[in-house]
C-alpha cells in the first residue's frame, strides 16, 4: 500500500507524536565526517519534519533533542549542539513569524548558558499565542528527572500544608510534569534502529505505540514519516482492555 497522509485522513493521525531524533553520529561516521556534521544534518531533518507535521495537522509534536545524559559526550560535541540550538532559535525568532506553531521547551533549561536560556524564553514568548501545532522541544530532558521534579514539587506542597498525601493521584502527578495538560503521546518513532526509550517521556508513554525504524535521523524523510503513520494507523490499541 502506498503510504500517504492524504489517504490516512486526520482521524488516523496521532494526536501527539514523539520522535527520538537518533543516529546523527553514525550518519556522520559513515561519511567520514566529524559527529557534529551529523547534528547539523539532523537539525535540517528536524526543520523539514516539524513543518510537515504541522502541515498535515498533527496537534502535538515532541522531539527529543538533548537528554540529561547527553552531557557525558565530549565537550566539542556538546558545544556544537549548543551552537545548533542557538542558531535554530535565532532563525525561529527571525523567520518563523508566519508559522502557526507554538514552541515550548521541556526539560531543565536552567542548565543552559544564559544567552541560550534567554533565546528559549523569547522563542516561547513569541509563539505563545499561536493556535496551530504545539511543538515541544525536549532539551536537557530526562523522564526520571521530570518525575523527580514532580515529586519534589508535591513534597513541597505537602510540607507547606497545601496538600495532603492522600490526595496525590495520577492526575495530580500529571499536572506537575513538563507536559502538564497535554495529551499523552500516541506514537513514538525512533529512527536509527535502536529499541529503547533512553529516558524519553517515561510517564507519558505508558500506552504509546512505538515504531522503530532502521534509518538514521539525517536520512529520515517525510515518506518515512508517512510509513510510520501508516503503521500506527493499523495498530490495535487496547489500553489494557480487550
* Residues 75-94 interacting with ligand IPE (rule: CB under 6 A): 81
- The count of residues interacting with Mg ion (CB under 5 A) is 1
Judged by DSSP in three states, 25 sits in helix
Footprint (CB under 6 A) of ligand IPE, residues 114-173: none
Looking at the annotation, which residues are catalytic? 22, 70
Q: Is 231 left (phi over 0), alpha (psi -120 to 50) or beta?
A: alpha
The three three-digit cell numbers of residue 121, written as one number: 524564553
For the bound state, the minimum distance from the C-beta of residue 22 to Mg ion, rounded and expressed in Å, comes to 4
Interacting span for Mg ion (CB under 5 A) from 22-30, 55-63, 114-122, 129-137: 22-30
CA-derived radius of gyration, the chain:
18
By CB under 5 A, name the one of 13, 18, 20, 22 that touches Mg ion.
22
How would you label 50-78 residue by residue, b for 16+ Cβ within 10 Å and e otherwise? Answer: bebbbebebbbbbbbbbbbebeeeeeebe
Q: Which of residues 42-71 bind ligand IPE (CB under 6 A)?
A: 64-67, 70
d(CA 190, CA 20): 5
Q: Which residues neighbour 205 within 8 Å (Cβ) at sequence distance 6 or greater? A: 18, 184, 185, 188, 197
Nearer to ligand IPE, 78 or 233 (CB): 78
Residue span binding Mg ion (CB under 5 A) among the ranges 18-26, 97-105, 183-191, 233-241: 18-26
What does the binding site for Mg ion look like in residue numbers (CB under 5 A)? 22
Instruction: Point out which residues bind ligand IPE (CB under 6 A).
Output: 20-26, 64-67, 70, 81, 192, 194, 196, 198
Amino acid at each position: 500500500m502506498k503510504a500517504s497522509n492524504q489517504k490516512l485522513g486526520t482521524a488516523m493521525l496521532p494526536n501527539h507524536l514523539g520522535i527520538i531524533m537518533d543516529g546523527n553520529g553514525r550518519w556522520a561516521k559513515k561519511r567520514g565526517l566529524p559527529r557534529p556534521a551529523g547534528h547539523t544534518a539532523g537539525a535540517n531533518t528536524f526543520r523539514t519534519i516539524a513543518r510537515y507535521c504541522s502541515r498535515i495537522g498533527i496537534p502535538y509534536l515532541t522531539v527529543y533533542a538533548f537528554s540529561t545524559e547527553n552531557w557525558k559526550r565530549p565537550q566539542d560535541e556538546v558545544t556544537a549542539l549548543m551552537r545548533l540550538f542557538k542558531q535554530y532559535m535565532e532563525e525561529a525568532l527571525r523567520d518563523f513569524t508566519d508559522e502557526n506553531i507554538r514552541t515550548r521547551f521541556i526539560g531543565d533549561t536552567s542548565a543552559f548558558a544564559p544567552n541560550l536560556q534567554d533565546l528559549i524564553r523569547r522563542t516561547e514568548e513569541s509563539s505563545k499565542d499561536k493556535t496551530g501545532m504545539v511543538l515541544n522541544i525536549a532539551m536537557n530532558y530526562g523522564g526520571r528527572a521530570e518525575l523527580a521534579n514532580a515529586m519534589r514539587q508535591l513534597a513541597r506542597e505537602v510540607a507547606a500544608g497545601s496538600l495532603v498525601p492522600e490526595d496525590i493521584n495520577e492526575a495530580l502527578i500529571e499536572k506537575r510534569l513538563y507536559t502538564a495538560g497535554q495529551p499523552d503521546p500516541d506514537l513514538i518513532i525512533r529512527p536509527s534502529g535502536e529499541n529503547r526509550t533512553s529516558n524519553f517521556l517515561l510517564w507519558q508513554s505508558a500506552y504509546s505505540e512505538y515504531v522503530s525504524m532502521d534509518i538514521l535521523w539525517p536520512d529520515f524523510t517525510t515518506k518515512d514519516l508517512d510509513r510510520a503513520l501508516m503503521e500506527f494507523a493499523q495498530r490495535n490499541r487496547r489500553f489494557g482492555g480487550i
